[in-house]
Amino acid sequence: MSPVLFFQEEEENVGQEEKQEEEKPVNESEEAEEKEAKKQKEEEKRKKLGCNDDEVLAVLGHELGHWKLSHNLKNLVIGQVLPCILGSQE
């Protein structure tokens, strides 16, 4: 799909959402259902965003631990020296 078509479709979808929001519910029960539906949509959007702050901090801390313990340097040396010592396996 070309970028131009993608943006055109996106604009059409936004226009449709605005039209739907303009339509007002007739009674209170429909209004309550609309609010509940909006809450569910917001919840789904929030779930799709990915990790929360604590999870990101945990992963970042883990990766920084590798750096502090010089695992990157050790793996680089192992990756370069071992093939030379073992020779070609083919």
| Whether the Cβ atoms of residue 26 and residue 17 lie closer than 8 Å to each other | no
Start-to-end CA distance of the chain, whole Å, equals 43
Residue 10: its H or E element: helix 3-22
Q: How far is CA 71 from CA 5, 56, 64, in A?
A: 47, 21, 10
Active site residue 9: no
> Which of 17, 36, 63, 90 is flagged as catalytic?
63
Residues with active-site annotation: 63
